[in-house]
Amino acid sequence: MMLHPLPPKSAEIPSPKRFTYPFCYQPHPLCVMAAQEVREYLQTQPQWAAELKAGKMFGVLVVKPPHSGGRLERGVLAAFSGTLDGKTRHSYFVPPVFDLMEPGCYFQQEQEQISAINVQISFLQTQIKESPLRQQMQNELEAFRLMMQAAKEERHRLRAELSAEELAAREPEMIKQSQYQKAQYKRLQQEWTQRIEADEASSRELRQQMTQLQQERHDRSIALQQWLFQQFSFLNAKGESRNLLELFHDALPPSGAGECCAPRLLQAAYKEGLKPLCMAEFWVGDSPCDELRQEGHFYPACNSRCKPILAHMLQGLLVEDNPLLSQQPQTLEVIYTDPQMAIVVKPHGMLSVPGKEGMPSVQSVVREMFPQAMGPMIVHRLDMDTCGLMVIALTDDMYHQLQEDFRRHKVQKNYRALLEREMPVGQQGEIRLSLRPDIMDRPRQMVDYQHGRTAITYYKVMDNIEGHALVELRPQTGRTHQLRVHCAHPDGLDNPIVGDRLYGKASHHLCLQAYQLIINGRAFTLPSKYKIK
């Protein structure tokens, strides 16, 4: 494992007092320098150029060696997620927590056995052939069914046309005919079944073999998966070790758990007795087609794979507080009120409704501000990172009326946003992308034209301010993070909103505000003191 030096100019930058909170952070200047060093190294590896162009996550961990004796006060570990050039190990980067690809290891041996079973199953599938008699059976039975149907219709005709005396004389014969035909059809089915079973006897034996192989493949795969989960064992700063089964005790670990940058970096540091100081993960290359990643941008650790792992691995370190939980209870400015409703200004960083962490929310604050209010009060929501106007229903009747107004598009919401780059003033149009949650990294959303829900936004570029485009956004649908994704995605404006910690570059806050609500033709506008900046 290679411990890389920081550039000389880093000597002027003090180490952080606390380790990075990996799920929401501003990269420490030391990590920014370290990431640049990694990017420069990658440029010297032309054999990886195509893979890097397609996009990959990398990470850096600044560490303090024990008893350095003045030789190296601080160093850097680097990692990549998954594989690089089809390998899990490269000398510049830390090793994986567990090397799945080590030749001759138990995992590879079992994979070979499972692959061999797959070959046998595929071969048996080519040998199992359906008897040609099945088509003959279908044809003959269908012809018999048509004959029975015609006879039935004839009986119905006779019952309708015959006199009572004639029908009484013919009825026993018609009943006997119906019973005979049904019995004959059943005998015909049985005869064909016996003929086909005899004709497919050899295939039946092959099917039994294939079923046994499929069961063996299933059993081996489950056993190998359980074994693999136990091999991914993670240390923390206290020296304690937990494997994936212990960390994901309520559910099976998701695919790829433990193969991301952050767990690899911390595991390597703990094994070498290095003290972690700060960490960051960054993207290199193009954005994938289904999720938003920007070249050179820093990103938080993913929730589904990494959160349970890092919650364990960070124990024993003095970690920064989650900035999303550090806010103090806030008050809301009310710009309009009457006995039926109120218009309030939601600040950046406040939830619209209560969340899991017990943070202040618009709902909890307006409950205290309007103790006489009846009903749910919250008619619509804004993202936690978005500021701006929200309408609050103070009566149950108004709540249901506003809900219906939103449903029938009688309420218009206009937003303003500052984007990272300038755009031609006056440019306007419609953005139409299909969105769905990224189940592996909530609350992020991803574009999915097959399974996503249609999201439509109208936009217009109003001005350029200090290198940033000021755009007006008018959503026609209300999908989660719709405006943020529509601005950042290459199929949208390809220009992230300033301060977007999920889809762009994090900063002091997201420069997106709901600046106007038009309710049944009446406009409410954000006061000028809330000028976007």
State the SS3 of 366-382.
HHHHCCCCCCCCECCCC
- From 286, 338, 383, 491, the catalytic residue: 383
Rounded Cα–Cα distance for residues 378 and 40 (Å): 50
Mean pLDDT (whole number) for 205-219 = 93
- pLDDT score for 512: 96
Contact, 464 vs 425, CB < 8 A? yes
CA distance 282 to 341: 45
Token digits for 358? 């017990």
- pLDDT score recorded for residue 440: 75
Question: Where does the pLDDT of residue 508 fall: very low under 50, low under 70, confident under 90, or very high at 90 and above?
Answer: confident
CA 527 to CA 515: how far, in whole Å? 8
* Helix (H) or strand (E) segment spanning residue 275: strand 275-284
Least confident of 78-87, 151-160, 303-312, 346-355: 346-355
How do 241-243 and 275-284 pair as beta strands?
unpaired
Which range of 155-164, 328-337, 346-355 scores highest in mean pLDDT? It is 155-164
- Residue percentage of the chain with pLDDT more than 90: 71
Residue 213: closest CA among 77, 113, 81, 71: 113
**What pLDDT, on the 0 to 100 scale, is given for residue 327?**
58
The reply to whether 321 belongs to the active site is: no
- Residue 256 Ramachandran class (φ > 0 left, ψ -120 to 50 alpha, else beta): left
Say yes or no: domain 333-530 is CATH 3.30.70.120.
no
Rounded Cα–Cα distance for residues 273 and 201 (Å): 66
At residue 316, does pLDDT exceed 80?
A: yes
- In one letter, which amino acid is 44? T
Q: What is the pLDDT of residues 495-507, one digit of tens each?
A: 999 999 888 887 7
Average model confidence (pLDDT) for the chain? 91
**DSSP secondary structure string for all residues of 334-403:** EEEE-SSEEEEEEPTT-BSS--TT---BHHHHHHHH-TT--S--B-S---TT-EEEEEEESSHHHHHHHH
CA distances in angstroms from 521 to 123, 479, 516, 517, listed in the order given: 70, 23, 12, 9
